Amino acid sequence: MQDVRVIDVPKLSKRPDVLTAGFPCQPFSNAGSRRGVEDSSGTLYQTALAFVRDLKPRSVVFENVRGLLSFGNGEKLLIQEISEKLDALGYNVVFSLIDASRHHVPQKRLRVFIVGIERTKTTGVFSFPYPVDRVDLSIKHTIMDLNNKVQNQNELMQLNPQAIQLGCLVPEGGSWKDIPYEKLPERLKRIRDDMRRYRSPNFYRRYHRDEIAGTITAAFKPENAGVWHPIEKRIYSVREIARIQTFPDWFNFLGRTIKSKYQQIGNAVPPRLAYEMAIQIKAVLVGANLRGETECLTFEQFINSGKPLRARDRDVIFSHK
């Protein structure tokens, strides 16, 4: 395995239809370092743009965390810099904040998608897939029919004894706030004593079986993520989080450690959402005009509104000038 920043651009027999990139999200995530471009991995979007420049794909899809929308790089937002560079390379650019649970994914997962479609007379106009009313995306419906014969179902990441003890004290649908004060470790007692100072954290969240699961992350920290099984005294298995991410049961996860498998799944784009994006892009590349299904904002309107972009509220069009 090599650093993507130093490998040569591959020689292809023809231009690719799509180039996808999920440059590291940790520098922009509230759950990560929040160091942005000061983080060594925070500049990997430039490497992704260099591959676009050299490979000249017909379309581009970038995915990242919500924090990308508010991160500045000098005088500009990073989302503006990325959009401008794609525009200069010959792409019509649209971005949006997508809630995966509105696209048949049993998980409350907010992610920013940036799509660039080459500016030609034969390509159509892109719009993100329209959100749908949720069907039964509950945890009960998603994972609670699994048995130990399904591959990866018996694989659980090892936790320290204190984390297991605390997690087991949380009732279905509850959190650390339901644990008796006297059973909390001293660190959590200090936080409980001054909740306002610590911004009322919701540690050890155990979602109810009738709820939609929270975001599956690569870190998969039992304290900060809702990773506890609704009714069993354990965290989710590798297969259970794969189900929540919409991976089919036949997809076998391999890796040197169980932790690496959790990371693979947490870093992935849910396949069901990826499928819906692919359908839209395929249609546009053969000339379909999808715009008009939803109201859109120009980038200037997005900036001037002074409000954060809500999940799939509107597409934002980065206008070519």
CATH number at residue 56: 3.40.50.150
Read off the pLDDT band of 222 (50, 70, 90): confident
Domain span including residue 282: 18-133+270-318
Q: What per-residue confidence (pLDDT) applies to 295?
A: 73
Query: 290 versus 238: which is more confidently predicted?
Result: 238
The catalytic position among 21, 25, 78, 273 is 25
Predicted confidence (pLDDT) at residue 265 exceeds the cutoff of 80: yes
**Number of structural domains, the chain?**
1
Average pLDDT over residues 122-135: 89
Q: What is the pTM of this model?
A: 0.89
- Please tell me the distance from the alpha carbon of residue 298 to that of residue 317, in angstroms, as a whole number: 5
Average pLDDT of the chain is 89
Residue 277 falls inside a structural domain = yes
Quote the tokens at residue 13. 């027999």
Predicted local confidence at residue 28, as pLDDT = 52
Task: Provide the b/e sequence for 31-61 (b: ≥16 CB within 10 Å).
Answer: bbeeebbebebbbbbebbbebbeeeebbbbb
Angle, CA 36 vertex, CA 297 and CA 102 arms, to 5°? 45
Q: Report yes or no on 98 lying in a domain.
A: yes
User: For position 294, what pLDDT does the model report?
Assistant: 63
Q: Is 25 a catalytic residue?
A: yes
> Which one has a higher pLDDT value, 4 or 246?
246
b vs e for 145-162, b when ≥16 Cβ sit within 10 Å of the residue's Cβ? eeeeebebbebebebeee
Q: pLDDT tens digits for 43-98? A: 789 899 999 999 999 999 999 999 889 888 777 889 999 999 999 999 999 999 99
Assess if residue 179 is contained within a domain: no
Give domain status of residue 249, yes or no. no
What band does 37 get if pLDDT is binned at 50, 70 and 90? Answer: very low
Amino acid at 128: F
Share of the chain above pLDDT 90, in %: 67
